[in-house]
Structure 1
Amino acid sequence: MRASLPPYLRALEVEPRLGNAAAQAAFTHLNLRINGFSQDPEPDLREGARLAALAMELAPEASTSLSAQATVLRHQDRFAEALPLHERAAADPARVNDQANAGLMHLLLGDPEAAQPPLRAALERAPWHTFSPNWRGHLALLLAGEADQAAEAFLTADRLHYLPAERPFLRLAALLGARRSAGAEALNAKLRQQFPARTEPRRAALASNEPRYRALFETAVLTPLRQMGWFQAAQ
């Protein structure tokens, strides 16, 4: 990923008006942070922000520019500001990830009901896309109180980039919320063998500091798991 930066920057040198090159370079810096590959997360965010701002200056209506700027805002936890930019970028048929990310912004703002329509639309638009049917939509169901549907979704999800270490804990919380005790007990016994270190689902839990999101996550996920004896040592 890091090696893709020089060609984008050379393209900007050759054609300084090429907004797409600036946007793609911004995505690279930001994706390094998202995927945990960045050795310098804050400099990568600053450089991503600089390049996204340049893309907006050069091509303010281009979907890649809008998406890059929205991604910067998301990294800055400015979800409400990122939402309309993702929605505008999603008007481009090629930007199904922005439609999914619009749903994610609603979710991270603590509104799982509003999150579901754009997430479902992204799934219908491109069912093969790794962003559309993954943990975002399933977690939105769970936080919206639709635990039974969430349990089924977590059970069948096998897509890439799906929080593989966290998925069984989220599924256990959904089974508990749906009062499917037999399934919950069976999964709980399996998890006791697989995860003796009791790894908390931190990536999903810490995805947002918005009070409403944190409250919903606490109620729907962490409280039932703690009642089953998980994560007590972390308290």
Structure 2
Amino acid sequence: MFVCHTLSRLTTALAVSLMAAGTLVATTAPATAAWSPNVMVISPAAPMANEVFATKGRLSTAFERPVKLQRLKSYRDQTWETVHTAVSDSAGYFYLSGRTSADRSFRVYAPTVKHKGRTYARIVTPTKVVRVAVQKVTLTVSSKVWFPYQPATVTLQATPARPGRAMYLFASTSSHIDTTGMPAQASTQDSRGRATFTFTPDSDEVGLHIFLLGKAMAWDGAAPTSSAALEADIVAPKP
């Protein structure tokens, strides 16, 4: 059967794709970037829902002090809640991480602190609205008619792009595609958010009607998402 053939072609790309990136845990940033003082930088600028994002920056004080990433809890009352606490390094650089399921306002707050007998006022960065990117996966095929021993190309395009994110391609002779099991093929996104797969049907697969579906796997807290299904037929070449 078609699925058996495609599973036998699975390469080490599957093992690579299972190594999804982990949660950001660093608390300080390398003191190499010449950031403007007391301004935070969000990366990625538009995270997916619940995807971990990094918050980097440099305080105007060049010594270690507590810093907090805060989220606006109530717009009416202008109350804030702390989502991550860290310590800036000796040059004032900080590195925090957060996540959000919807568009929310964030800021970095450094409380008043004493250092070497001197009191330094609190620092509050300008507020930044973190807007959540809607993720989407699109599946395309080079042709909906496949011939034995002739490669057919299947492409998955994910937005937003996350290079290295695992991409699974499922293939079935049933319209009910189980995306919880082993995929027919696996790869990872390139810098454009694209993953390309190749199928080369065998002669004993002529006459099969194939259902295809792509899936971007979970990534740094963001949920997996699937494409719409496409269909293809494996036919004998014309004499």
Shorter-chain TM-score: which interval?
Answer: under 0.3
TM-score, normalising length: structure 2: 0.24
Structure of greater Rg: 2
More helix by share: 1
Which one scores higher on RCO, CA 8 angstroms, separation ≥ 6? 2
More strand by share: 2
